[in-house]
Chain A
């Protein structure tokens, strides 16, 4: 399969499985692009994810970065479009009837059913990233400190990313 088709198939499939947001597909993306296809290493995956977080725009753009590694700028655009289009079409189809079911029991049940799955998958994403990124105790300490500060203070996340980068440069 050509690289562009392969990217479109991979991210198009994951688009409809991204419950609660793209973070829940990170373990699947990492598994496919690192372990199965050997496009990038686990360390590169964690760094590309970090670049997407530090840049403006949605974090799903890590897909564009992976696509660009595989097939240049066209690969980046194909990967991003594949990740947003299937889910976007589905949302447009559903949005017309959404308000009608605002108080429907099944809507609350499905919402309640999706939440714990999302929680488990995002925890899995965190585990995958910790394993890939935190190769020393210092780096693990940076992760845990950033997590704690993000939960306990109102500091903008960009400050936490900048502080992590500076610590990496100085102490690395």
Chain B
């Protein structure tokens, strides 16, 4: 980011990410982008894209990673803490409240039917996400095989995720290196 921009305060970091978190239904990314790029102009679109590409590249929840990295650039570790707390405070409170209601009323028949339909729709969204990620992968035989191998190792072989990654990551890097 450009050095001429003023450092944001802890309160500004908390506030910006708090807003993105509480209105972020169905994924926080578009809301965070609107607040950070369009409304508060903390980053240009290109700067936002570059920082977000890091957060997609690294393991973990993309938008939470973004709050860590963005907060840290402004106020170090405490800035990261302010941004991440802002992002997660309200959603965690809401989700825990819903979890409490689920524990209390989740077994009632109408609630079970509603949640059954909700769960099926939610799993449809994951199918769609998987298709969106797999789309660009399906252009070459090698990436298709790597994706299929990951699927088979996890679903059919029941290999643990650490072992799956230990096996696939070097293999996939070696294959990408040769390509």
Contact = CB atoms under 8 A, between A and B. Distances in A.
Nearest to A62: B95
Interface in B129-179: 129-134, 136-137, 142-144, 146-151, 154-155, 158, 160-162, 164-165, 168-169, 172-173, 175-177, 179
Given A157-B26, A169-B114, A143 B61 contact: no
B23 interface: yes
Contact of B123 (A31, A95, A133, A158): A133
B13 interface: no
B34 interface: no
A83 B61 CA distance: 8
A125 B154 CA distance: 9
Most buried by A among B65, B103, B125, B131: B125
Contacts of B112: 172
The range of chain A's interface size is: 35 or more
Interface in B40-83: 50-51, 54-65, 67-69, 72-73, 77, 80
Interface size class of B (residues with CB under 8 A): 35 or more
Given A48-B99, A64-B92, A88-B80, A129 B147 contact: no
A19 interface: yes
A110 interface: yes
The DSSP consensus for interface residues of chain B is helix
B50 A99 contact: yes
B59 A115 contact: no
Contact of A87 (B58, B94, B151, B169): B58
Contacts of A135: 116
Contact of B120 (A90, A91, A168): A168
A27 B87 CA distance: 25
12 contacts: A16-B60, A27-B161, A47-B118, A57-B28, A65-B98, A69-B103, A84-B61, A91-B55, A115-B136, A116-B137, A119-B134, A146-B120
